Amino acid sequence: MKLTIDQPFDLSSSLESGQSHRWVKSDSWYIGVVLGNLVKIRQIEDKIEWHSAPSSEEDILPLLKDYFRLDDDLNKIYEEITQDDRVSEMVAKFPGLRLLRQDPWECTIAFICSANSNIPRIHRVIENLSNTFGTQLELDGHIRHSFPSPQELVVAGEQKLRELGLGFRAPYVDKATQLVNANQLDLQSLIQMPYELAKKCLMECPGIGPKIADCILVFSLEKMEAFPIDVWVRRALGDWYFPNQKTPSNQILQSWAQNYFGSYGGYAQQYLFHGRRLQK
């Protein structure tokens, strides 16, 4: 099935910019798992083409529109964030890079696993969790597994999580899973909360600090003003906005960035992150 996109959209930049950890490229196709569906997708000019299982191509269309945030008016967002010259430069390099609207549960666990790690390792850990506790999916000869639900993952326990490569992150993932299962951490309810309150709730969970909380907020909980600061964003801000001086603390940088970039700071951050990481 094919869909014509009438706004800026770049599938490759969106899937390869460190937001999601379930996508693998095979020739011109990207193969990944979205909410229990194995999806094979590619872009040809202004069209995307996909296959899916177990849901049909027609049934999964609303999910894909939601996942790729096709309801975002990216041109309007560009009008705001490209008032900054550096972000404007990154938008010109990667036009159509979109934030992804991910499942809050999977996003939370993925970014807890991201602590002091790198993108390839995070990919491996998420695949290990899925292969061990998820449901097998098959499409065109490709076999993957769904990301385990809280109920499926809660049986793992800290030791098994360590065996799957989570290391010091294992107790944090185990605790977050227990909190979600006990309804002590209601991720969906955070969507309706103001940014600061939602961030405070997330940070009450062991293993979730300011950066991880902001990643969860912007990539799955509709908080476009969230501005995660990792090593690449810190370098981008230091090199491009605070040159020839000691880079301020992350707390100062975040306050400055949210005031400077405004309500679409999450989009600005993603362009800066992607551009600075590819400059390495």
Please list the active-site residues. 211
CB 132 within 8 Å of CB 45: no
CB neighbourhood size of 4 (10 A): 8
* Bridge partner list, 39: 32, 52
H helices present in 16-149, as ranges: 57-67, 74-81, 85-93, 104-112, 119-133
Helix or strand or coil: residue 52? strand
Using DSSP bridges, classify how beta strands 136-139 and 47-53 pair: parallel, antiparallel or unpaired.
unpaired
Q: Are 164 and 125 in contact (CB under 8 A)?
A: yes
Give the Cα separation of 66 and 39 in Å (integer): 14
Q: For tokens 């996942």, what's the residue?
A: 67
The CA-to-CA distance between both ends of the chain, in Å, stands at 37
